Amino acid sequence: MSHYTFIVNPAAGRGDATKLVRRLRGALRERGIDHTIVLTAAPGDATTKARESASDVVVAVGGDGTINEVANGLVGSSKALGIIPAGSGNDFIKSCGIPEDFEQALAILCAGKRRRIDLGTVQCTKDGANGSEQPEVRCFVNGVGIGFDAAVAARTQEIRHVSGTALYLLAVFQTLGRYSFPTFTYKVDHTIRESKNLLIAVGNGRCAGGGFYLTPDAVIDDGWLDICVIEEKSVPQILRLMSRVMKGKHGDIPGVTIFRDTGLVASAREPFHVHADGEIVGRNVNRVDIGIMKACLDVVVG
């Protein structure tokens, strides 16, 4: 029988993960599941605990950020990633067939069906950075946002007492009036392009921001990343665009282009933010390099 380590992020979902611990202990005892439960205490803690775990399956109990940290700790090992959703957005599970309901997610975990998925890689660089310092390369499971999407992600971390799509919408409205559009030079589909963009979204999974399908056709194990580039828009245009993005029906809007590639390099003179799986990995950077690691992590899926 497999041994499970459950890594719980007490801060996930505005504290909802902590409330799950007692329920989780009871459910695991009832099912006779051999397990260990550990709580994280600081950013990066989940990566360390996942790397050190001797379990066959390491379960992220939290949101996309917790899943990201656990996945970064499991890369290169034979351990599988399990998921009990307890975050604000819970976007990655939409590509894994895992429901938000606790009991249903636990049943899927116990069933043990595995799928070997791709991971993306992201590396951010600032102009004038010390050349002797190698920028960190991180993996991501779901997606990367460059520009407006990342500025919104940064704002969500400052908002309290709201979660899910409502949190993202509030952050969007608070970011709209003060956002400037960088002119990006980016290489995708073997072509160098330049445009003033609202955002560039790179998806391994289909959904981001708690319910926005920027890359609706992305598949987590097809060996490709889906890349959505949206050019500069006025505030009314952005608001109309959002309703289409929530349905994944924005691909035919002028100024929206969706590519499929194995990587992306984007740069701008104006500094921009970058998020990976909803967590800020680059603040005021000038370049981001994104790639893919194919078929490198087992995930317990529905």
Judge whether residue 289 has pLDDT over 60: yes
AA letter at 62: G
CB burial readout 160-187, b (16+ within 10 A) else e: eeebbeebbbebbeebeeebebbebebe
Judge whether residue 14 has pLDDT over 70: no
* pLDDT reported for residue 237: 92
Are 119 and 292 in contact by the 8 Å Cβ rule? The answer is yes
Assign domain 4-112 to its CATH architecture.
3-Layer(aba) Sandwich (3.40)
Report the topology of domain 119-295: Tumour Suppressor Smad4 (2.60.200)
List, by residue range, all CATH 2.60.200.40 domains of the chain. Answer: 119-295
* pLDDT reported for residue 192: 94
- The pLDDT of 232-246, averaged and rounded, is 91
* pLDDT reported for residue 13: 64
* pLDDT reported for residue 48: 97
95 Cβ contact list (under 8 Å, min separation 6): 142, 204, 205, 206, 207, 218, 219, 220
* pLDDT reported for residue 1: 62
List, by residue range, all CATH 3.40.50.10330 domains of the chain. Answer: 4-112
Tell me the pTM. Answer: 0.92
Please give the structure tokens belonging to residue 168. Answer: 């993202």
90 Cβ contact list (under 8 Å, min separation 6): 63, 64, 100, 210
- The pLDDT of 208-221, averaged and rounded, is 94
Q: What is the pLDDT of residues 127-155, one digit of tens each?
A: 866 555 678 899 999 999 999 888 888 88
Select from 46, 80, 41 the least CA-distant residue to 63. 46
Written as one string, the DSSP assignment of the chain is: ---EEEEE-TTGGGGHHHHHHHHHHHHHHHHT--EEEEE--STTHHHHHHHH---SEEEEEESHHHHHHHHHHHTTSSPEEEEEE-SSS--GGGGTT--S-HHHHHHHHHHT-EEEEEEEEEEEE-TT--TTSPPPEEEESSEEEEEHHHHHHHHHTT--S--HHHHHHHHHHHHHTT----EEEEEETTEEEEEEEEEEEEESSS-BTTTB-SSTT--TTSS-EEEEEEE---HHHHHHHHHHHTTT--TTSTTEEEEEES-EEEEEEEEEEEEETTEEEEEEEEEEEEEEEEEEEEEE--
Select from 197, 203, 212 the least CA-distant residue to 242. 212
Are 146 and 124 in contact by the 8 Å Cβ rule? The answer is no
Are 10 and 42 in contact by the 8 Å Cβ rule? The answer is no
CA atoms 93, 99, 105, 110: torsion sign: negative
Return the residue matching tokens 């899927």. 108
| CA–CA separation, 70 and 67 (whole Å) | 5
Query: Using only C-alpha atoms, what is the Rg of the chain?
Result: 19
- Residue 222's Cβ-side half-sphere holds a number of Cα atoms within 13 Å equal to 14
Are 291 and 285 in contact by the 8 Å Cβ rule? The answer is no
- The pLDDT of 51-76, averaged and rounded, is 95
* pLDDT reported for residue 116: 98
Q: Quick one: what percent of the chain has pLDDT higher than 90?
A: 71
